[in-house]
Each structure stands twice: as C-alpha cells, then as structure tokens.
Chain A
Amino acid sequence: MTLRQKSLTYAVVVPFAILLAFPFYFALVTMFKTNLDLADVEHSPYLYNDLEGGFHWDFWNYATTEHVRFLFEDTNYPKWLLNTLLVGAAVVGITLLLAMPAGYALARLAGGWGQTAGVGIFLVYLVPPTLLFLPLSRLITQLDLKDSLWSLILIYPSFTVPFATWLLMGFFKTIPQELEDAALVDGASRLKALYLIILPISLPGILTVVIFAFSLCVNEFIYAFTFISSSEQRTVSAGIPNDLIRGDVFFWQSLMAATLIPAIPLALLYNAFLDRFIKGFTGGAFR
C-alpha cells in the first residue's frame, strides 16, 4: 500500500472506531468519578477534576472506586452476574444437546429437503420474543415458574436452538463427507465416527456457538424483565435497569461500572471468534 492509501485508510477507520467505541470509553471515565466532580456541569466530563474543575496529572487522586465498591457490596449485582452465568450455562448446555444432532443431520441431508428444513429453522429464529412474550408470560404463571430462573432456562432455548442449529449446520457442511466415510470404512460405527472424527474437527465451531448463544442469553431483556420480579432472581440485563435506576435517581457511576464489566469480556470473546462466526453464519446461507 502506498503512503496515501495508508493514511486514507486510517482517516476513515479511526473516526469510525472512535464514534462506535465512544460510549464505552465514556462509561469507563464516569465509573470512577466523585459525586462532586460529576454533579458540576462546568467540569469537563472527560477528565477527573479537583473541586474547582482543574485537572492534575496525578488524576487518580481525584477519582474514586467507592461507586464500584458500592455496586459489589451494597447491591444484588454480584447475584445478578451469578444468575446470568447460571442461566447462560444451562441454556448453552440444552442448546448444544438439541442443536448438534439437528445441525449435523441438516448438513448431511443432501438436496432440497435438508435445505428447506434449514430455511424453516432459520425462519423460526426470526419469530421475535416481542411476539411471544405475552402468551409465554401467562404460561410461566400457570406453571408456577414466575420469579424462578427455571422460567428463563425453559424459554431461552426457543431462540438459541434455531440460531445454534443454523450456525452448526454451516460448520458441519465445511467438513468433507469423505472423512466420515473413511472412518466408516475403517470399521467405526456411525456414532463413533461422529464422536472421534467430526466432533474434534468442529470444536472451534462448537465453541463459537457456545459464545454466541451465551451472549444471546445475556442480551435477552423482555423475558427476563416480565417473568422475574424479585430482585434476587434477576439477570444482569433485567436487574441493572430495574434496581439501579430508582425513579429519577440514577447512580451513574455504579451504573456505568455495571454496564462495562460484562461488556468488555464479551467483546473480547466476540472479537476472538469473529472470523469463525462469519464462516458459520454465511456458510449456512452462501454455500
């Protein structure tokens, strides 16, 4: 690349990156602000200031961790993180159990029927929670699962399974049939071939599904919000807007900390698995 091309690339890419990442940078600054600094509208919101609004290079002396501590010690936040992890893990487990055989079968079903079924499953993924939550919330009440994490564990697979099946179908399609045939010829049973040959090769794909299905669970808002009303049982997505915002009182620093803490590890995981995700996602549709 010539120097001109290079500078043009940076001139486009860097402003986009700044614009897209800005809310997160700003959340990071806010979470360590002192109340007095935050409340003064004359103070620069980008920096940590002294009482007069001045900036010092030893800015950490003008910041505080008390709001992060408040979040972990005086709210149910740690409990929500735990709940989210529990629900996520259980749902991912169920999802893999159901989606792996389904995805594999669809990938190997040659011709029109497999294609049609795959498309059908994909369409199911498009039926959104906003259409389903009204009847489902009544169902949960009838099953006496209201306020229980089990309600989420029961319902979340409705959107993770179609999604995971679609992704896995894409991954399995990339594995040549010959590999499996060779194992069969060598005397392995179909199941054994599946476990010893296919599974190890598709492990990266399966990991990708784990991460994206998990993140779908963390993202989910409307079910978590309607099914669960006790603070103790909430997940992160439903707990933060409900319990950390009280009427007009916002605990901004704690809110920003609560926002950023789950977002960063998820974004790192996303980034690491992005290329594989692209492969699986388009592998289903564009192959």
Chain B
Amino acid sequence: MVLVVGVPFAWAVYLSFTDAIGGSLTGNWVGFDNFTNAWKDDNFRRALRNTLIFTFASQAIVLVGAAVLSNFLVRDFRGKWFIRFLVVLPWAAPVVLSTIAWLWLLDSLYSVVNWSLARLHLDNGLVWLLSAVNLEEDAQVPLQWLGRPNLALIAVTLVHAWRILPFAVVIFIAGRASIPTEVEDAARIDGATGVKKLWYVDIPLQLPIALVAVLFGIVFTAVDFAVVYLLTRGGPFNSTQVLPTWAYAIGIDGGSLGEGAAISLFLFPLLVVVSVAMLFFARRAQVS
C-alpha cells in the first residue's frame, strides 16, 4: 500500500517542485515556481472555480434529491425491486459509459432533450429564461448544451448530480436503517408529528450520515476526470476545465510534468478538509 500509493504521492509532491518535462522522472529544483505559475494562469483559476462549482452545486442537488427519494424508497410498495434497479443504474454503470450516453442525449444536432423541449413547446421559454437571468445572452434554439460556456457548466453539474444521487440514496437508506425503531415509537408517544417530528427528530438523527454521504459525493466529484474530459474536453474555450483535466492538459498533453503535478496537488487540501470532516461526522453518527 505504501509502495503503490505513498511512493507515487511523494513523487508527485517532489515533481511539483521541479521543472521536469515529459519523458523524464526528475528535473531541476525550482521551488514554488510551478505553484505560482499555475496560480497566475487564468485558466487555472477558472479550473479551480469550476471544480468548486461542480462539486458544491451538484452536491446540493444530490442532498435534496436523496433526502426526498430515500424517504419514500424505504416504504414497502409493489415493484420496489424494479424501481430500485432503475434508481441505482447511474451509479452501477461505468462512469465512462454513462457519460457517453449523456454525450448523445445532449448532442448539438440530435439531442433528445432539445427534441422533447421543442415538442412540448418549452424550448423558446427556456431560451427566454436563460437570457432573462443573464446566463446565456444570445442563446438560440436548439440549445447547444455542451457548446456554450454557461450551458456546459449546467450540463456537467447535472450529469454529476445524476451520477452521485443513487449513491447518496443508498447511504441515506443505510443511515435510516441504523436508527432504532424505538426512537420512532417514542416520538409518536410524545405526540411529535409532521413538521415538528421532521425538525426535532428526523433531521438531527439523519444529519451525520447525510453529511457523510455528501462528503463522499464531494470527493467523487472533485477528483473526477472522465465526465468533463468526455463531455467537453474542458471546452468551449477552457470554460469547463476542472483541476484534474487541467493537470492533464498541462502535464501530459503539454508535457510540463512538474506544473501538472503542482496543479493536481491543489486538490489535496480540499480532500484533507473533507476527509477530516467525514471522520468527525462518522464518529458522531456512531454515538447517536
């Protein structure tokens, strides 16, 4: 374990301080130059901003969706097995493959999303809405989901949310199962119902595990390479680059191994914060 993760990790740290270029494993020590160079680049800042947007926006959607869906999915109803099969599909399918399916769904010419919007006469309304909220100034029908900067941001966020939602639902259900039924009974005897029960009983009890699910989701989204790379290649005009794809563009395509390593290392503080928070809340969940 130390060998396959620790050594490459240390190496990545070392490389980030050198001017190593493609093909070599070493370079001259350049101190923090790679980090400052990366930081000065507008594309890098955009990649950092996008990483944060994708991660937090998609997780907000996931949190709400999973809270609602898990609430109903724990009930007994006919066809539950099949519904659950459909719900876990996005998580079970290899991410590369489902992303390619989305590429087709959002195609510039044949997009089924646009086709359906047009048939429902919603397309012009959506275009109007997009310009009304200043998201897409000169949007036109059919919408270029992956070809316009802001639309592409929305599309990638939604694909991430779609992909992580089933996982969060599964964790939520697990969390629910770990709450003893006595709590439910006690709440009923004490006369807690409706909103009161939701606020004083359900939410506090489910909060720790909900946070664990969200924190996992943050890690899964923040480090993801495949979704952005396949959907937009970071485009149009680098407007959807994230740190992993930007590190790839600089480190592998551009050959500046050192700077690429430095860029990917910017992810690490975020992961450390998230992991520590995750362990903290996991422990809280243990107590309750």
Binding site for B on A (CB under 8 A): 1, 5-6, 8-10, 12-14, 16-21, 23-24, 26-27, 30, 38, 41, 44-46, 119, 121, 123-124, 126-132, 134-139, 141-142, 154-155, 157-158, 161-162, 215, 218-219, 221-222, 226, 236-238, 240-241, 250, 252, 255-256, 258-260, 262-263, 266-271, 274, 277-279, 281-282, 285-287
Assess whether A237 is in contact with B94, with CB atoms less than 8 Å apart. yes
The answer, yes or no, to whether B264 is at the interface (CB within 8 Å) is yes
Contact mask for chain B residues 193-229; partner A; CB cutoff 8 A; 1 contact, 0 none: 0000000000000000100100000010001111000
User: Contacts A135-B15, A271-B85, A286-B286 given: A241-B92 contact, CB under 8 Å?
Assistant: no
A-B contact pairs, 24 of them (CB 8 A): A20-B86, A20-B162, A20-B165, A21-B86, A23-B102, A24-B93, A26-B112, A30-B104, A41-B110, A45-B110, A45-B112, A45-B115, A127-B9, A135-B11, A138-B25, A219-B94, A222-B244, A259-B100, A268-B85, A270-B92, A271-B81, A278-B170, A282-B175, A286-B285
Assess whether A26 is in contact with B101, with CB atoms less than 8 Å apart. yes
Chain A positions within 8 Å of B274 at CB level: 126
- Which residues of chain B from 40 to 92 have a CB within 8 Å of any chain A CB? 65, 68-69, 72-73, 75-77, 81, 83-92
Q: Cα distance A158–B166 when bound, in Å?
A: 25
Q: Cα distance A17–B85 when bound, in Å?
A: 9
Query: In the complex, what's the smallest C-beta–C-beta distance from A107 to chain B, in angstroms?
Result: 16
Q: Cα distance A119–B283 when bound, in Å?
A: 11
Assess whether B166 is in contact with A263, with CB atoms less than 8 Å apart. no
Assess whether B15 is in contact with A285, with CB atoms less than 8 Å apart. no
Assess whether A130 is in contact with B94, with CB atoms less than 8 Å apart. no
User: Contacts A124-B5, A240-B100, A252-B104 given: A278-B177 contact, CB under 8 Å?
Assistant: yes
Q: Which of B24, B89, B282 has the most CB of A within 10 A?
A: B89
Query: In the complex, what's the smallest C-beta–C-beta distance from B5 to chain A, in angstroms?
Result: 5
Stretch binding the partner chain, chosen from B131-139, B145-153, B265-273: B265-273
Q: Cα distance A262–B97 when bound, in Å?
A: 9
Chain A binding surface, main DSSP class: helix
Binding site for A on B (CB under 8 A): 1, 4-5, 8-9, 11-12, 15, 23-25, 65, 68-69, 72-73, 75-77, 81, 83-98, 100-102, 104-105, 107, 109-110, 112, 115, 162, 165-166, 170-171, 173-175, 177-178, 209, 212, 219, 223-226, 230, 243-244, 247-248, 251-252, 257, 260-261, 264-265, 267-268, 271, 274-275, 279, 282, 285-286
Assess whether B112 is in contact with A286, with CB atoms less than 8 Å apart. no
Q: Which of A17, A131, A260, A269 has the most CB of B within 10 A?
A: A131
Assess whether A9 is in contact with B77, with CB atoms less than 8 Å apart. yes
Q: Which residue of B has the minimal Cβ distance to A135? A: B11
Assess whether B244 is in contact with A130, with CB atoms less than 8 Å apart. yes
- Which single member of B101, B110, B166, B212 contacts A24 (CB below 8 Å)? B101
Query: In the complex, what's the smallest C-beta–C-beta distance from A142 to chain B, in angstroms?
Result: 7
Q: Cα distance A255–B178 when bound, in Å?
A: 42
Chain B positions within 8 Å of A259 at CB level: 93, 97-98, 100-101
Assess whether A12 is in contact with B282, with CB atoms less than 8 Å apart. no
Chain B positions within 8 Å of A45 at CB level: 110, 112, 115
Q: Which residue of B has the minimal Cβ distance to A259? A: B97
User: Contacts A16-B69, A21-B89 given: A132-B94 contact, CB under 8 Å?
Assistant: no
Q: Which residue of B has the minimal Cβ distance to A23? A: B101
Chain A positions within 8 Å of B282 at CB level: 285-286
User: Contacts A9-B72, A23-B98, A137-B252 given: A131-B166 contact, CB under 8 Å?
Assistant: no
In the complex, besides A1-B77, A135-B261, 18 extra interface pairs with C-beta distance below 8 angstroms are A6-B77, A20-B87, A124-B1, A126-B271, A126-B274, A126-B275, A129-B223, A130-B223, A134-B15, A134-B261, A138-B23, A138-B25, A237-B96, A250-B104, A263-B97, A271-B84, A278-B174, A282-B178
Q: Cα distance A287–B73 when bound, in Å?
A: 24
Assess whether A136 is in contact with B8, with CB atoms less than 8 Å apart. yes
Assess whether B96 is in contact with A221, with CB atoms less than 8 Å apart. yes
Assess whether B98 is in contact with A263, with CB atoms less than 8 Å apart. yes
Q: Cα distance A3–B101 when bound, in Å?
A: 37
Q: Cα distance A139–B223 when bound, in Å?
A: 21
Q: Cα distance A172–B116 when bound, in Å?
A: 50
Assess whether B72 is in contact with A12, with CB atoms less than 8 Å apart. yes
User: Contacts A45-B112, A138-B25, A236-B97 given: A274-B286 contact, CB under 8 Å?
Assistant: no
Assess whether A142 is in contact with B267, with CB atoms less than 8 Å apart. no
Assess whether B8 is in contact with A126, with CB atoms less than 8 Å apart. no
Q: Which residue of B has the minimal Cβ distance to A12? A: B72
Assess whether B9 is in contact with A132, with CB atoms less than 8 Å apart. yes
Assess whether A131 is in contact with B112, with CB atoms less than 8 Å apart. no
Assess whether A138 is in contact with B257, with CB atoms less than 8 Å apart. yes
- Which single member of B109, B260, B264 contacts A41 (CB below 8 Å)? B109
Query: In the complex, what's the smallest C-beta–C-beta distance from B123 to chain A, in angstroms?
Result: 13
Query: In the complex, what's the smallest C-beta–C-beta distance from B228 to chain A, in angstroms?
Result: 11
The 8 closest A-B pairs by CB, nearest first: A128-B223, A263-B93, A158-B4, A270-B92, A130-B244, A267-B92, A135-B11, A21-B86
